[in-house]
Amino acid sequence: MRLISYNVNGIRSALKKGFLDWLKSDPADIICLQETKAEKENVDHSLIDALGYQNYWYSAQKKGYSGVAIFTRRQPDALFYGNGLMQSDAEGRVIRADYGSVTLINAYFPSGTSGDERQTYKYQWLDEFYDYLQTLRQTRPNIIVCGDYNIAHMDIDIHNPKGNKKSSGFLPEERAWLTKFVESGMIDTFRHFQPDPHHYSWWSQRFPSVRKENKGWRIDYFMVTESLKSRLKGAAIHPDIQHSDHCPVYVEIDF
């Protein structure tokens, strides 16, 4: 199965930039979107249906904010909207699909860039999500967690680590959480295949030249439980796809 995770920074904006043409190119069997900023009824999803993708949306209560979606050519055995945590669910941050023994979780982690209040909530969300996942692993051990984590893990995952040590998304506490997450038995699939630097999935829109110069952050991930390690076939990042300030990240895995 070919999977993509992609923060589209507004699905309606991405559609105007050629997202549908990209979808027609058959990029993956399952596509997980974050930051859709729309409800399903606000988008002409018949065009997506026509390409053979069943599409499931979990939107924020606030209009034009957050939201996740799964486009899939394989019918899930079960779908779960949200993770049962009030604020996270109100912000439309988690959608889960089960395929046989494999559980796919598409998550849009909070950003703390807008101030201390949201940074505090980000830490709360991270702890709550960690506990949610550890509980789920007791009954569903084969788990894929994809999405925009809003954290660059290591120095290798960010263009300017020294200059960003006090930036949300690269704070010591955030990076320590991601280290704990990996050490709990999760594999960073891209790093499993690619140890080299200068691979990023997000570039600041404040400075248009940074994408051309590849001065970015790697904050979008496919993490899988150790039990799925032998099923991994490949992973990649596609910076040439430009409907958003993010780009798609890819993994191929035997379901």
What residues act catalytically? Answer: 148
Render 153-188 in DSSP notation, one character per residue: -SGGGBS-TGGGTTSTTS-HHHHHHHHHHHHTTEEE
Joined together, the tokens standing for residue 93 give 């941050």
Long-range CB pairs of 172-178 (<8 Å, 24+ gap) are 173/123, 174/112, 174/122, 174/123, 174/126, 175/151, 177/123, 177/126, 177/127, 177/130, 177/151, 178/149, 178/151, 178/153
Separation in Å, CA 180 to CA 7, 104, 118, 206: 24, 20, 21, 31
- Other C-beta atoms within 10 Å of 27: how many? 16
Joined together, the tokens standing for residue 87 give 């604020």
